[in-house]
Structures are given as C-alpha cells and as structure tokens.
Amino acid sequence: MPPGPEQSFRDYVHARVAALSRSAYLLTGDAHLAEDLVQQTLVQVASRWERIVAGGDPDAYVRRVLYHQHVSWWRRWRREAVPVDRLPDTAGPLPDVALTVAVQQALAKLTPKQRAVLVLRYFEDLTETQAATVLGVGVGTVKSQTRDALARLRVLAPDLAELQEVAR
C-alpha cells in the first residue's frame, strides 16, 4: 500500500532538505535566509502535495517554487548591510575558503535570475531543458541568461579563474 500524502511529504522533505538548503544558500548567500526560504517553500507546497505528486516529478515543482520565491523576496526588499560592533571570531582558514568566499561574492553580484540559472546549471547539474522547466522559461532564455551571467562574472570577478586554478 503506497504511503499517504502526509507520509509522502515527510519522506520527500527528509530526503531533499539538504539539497534544497544548499541551493537556497547559494541563491541567498545567507544561512538564515536560506533556512527561511526553504521553510517557506515547503509550507507553500505542503498544502498542494497530493496534486504535486500526482503531476509527476515533485522535485522539479519544489525547485521551481524555491527559485520563484527567492525572486519574489528579492523584488520585495533589498538587503542592506547591518553594522556590527565587532567581527565574529573565526576558527581559522578552511580548505578552499578563498574560492568559496569568491564564489559567494561573485554570485551576490548577479541578478536573481542569473544566479538561479547558474545554481541550477552548475551546482545542481541540471540540463538546459531541466533548468528551463524549473524556472518556467524557454531553453533559449536559460542559454542567454547563462551566457550573460558568465560574461558578467568574467568582468566583475576575474579573480575566480585564478582561484580555481590554485584550488586544483
């Protein structure tokens, strides 16, 4: 007997929350905002879970909601830097920390759509067709957004290529 919708949703969340959280972090650049984004996405899809599962691939639908929710957030408000009295203590350098920081800073310089396309294509390893389905756009749009995002990264963050060579 197949599991009911509630158990099916719990199983899905248990299996996919880590991957969704990684994608959300890459989109937002902030761990707390990423948690909020994933939580809001899951709340939004929970009420429709039975229809989502019946429609085929729930993962594509959930990712699409996640990316659209992020763009909606970005449109509503723009995050501003919050000054702090003192910098947090760090545990010391981590492997590839320079590359990680450079990638985060570079992604932050892109538009939400460009960031979403790069995260889908290169971090989630989706094809152009899959990324287009998730974002609800045509394959040509994914191609042009990818091209434009990579060109913008080459201009805004030329040090990424150098750091990538060092990391290899």
- Using one digit for the tens of pLDDT, what is the confidence trace for 79-113? 444 555 565 555 555 456 667 777 788 888 888 88
Q: Are 145 and 152 in contact (CB under 8 A)?
A: no
Entry pTM: 0.56
Same domain, 1 and 73: yes
Q: Are 135 and 124 in contact (CB under 8 A)?
A: no
Higher pLDDT among residues 161 and 163, named by residue: 161
Q: Give me the CATH number covering residue 131.
A: 1.10.10.10
Number of domains into which the chain is organized:
2
Same domain, 40 and 105: no
Asked if residue 5 has pLDDT above 80, the reply is no
Q: Is residue 135 part of a domain?
A: yes
Closest CA to 131 of 10, 15, 12, 23: 23
Q: Name 20's Cβ contacts closer than 8 Å, sequence gap at least 6.
A: 38, 41, 42, 62, 63, 66
Q: Dump pLDDT digits (tens) for 37-54.
A: 999 999 999 988 888 888
Same domain, 5 and 77: yes
Angle separating helix axes 58-76 and 128-135, nearest 10 degrees: 60
What is the amino acid identity at position 134? V
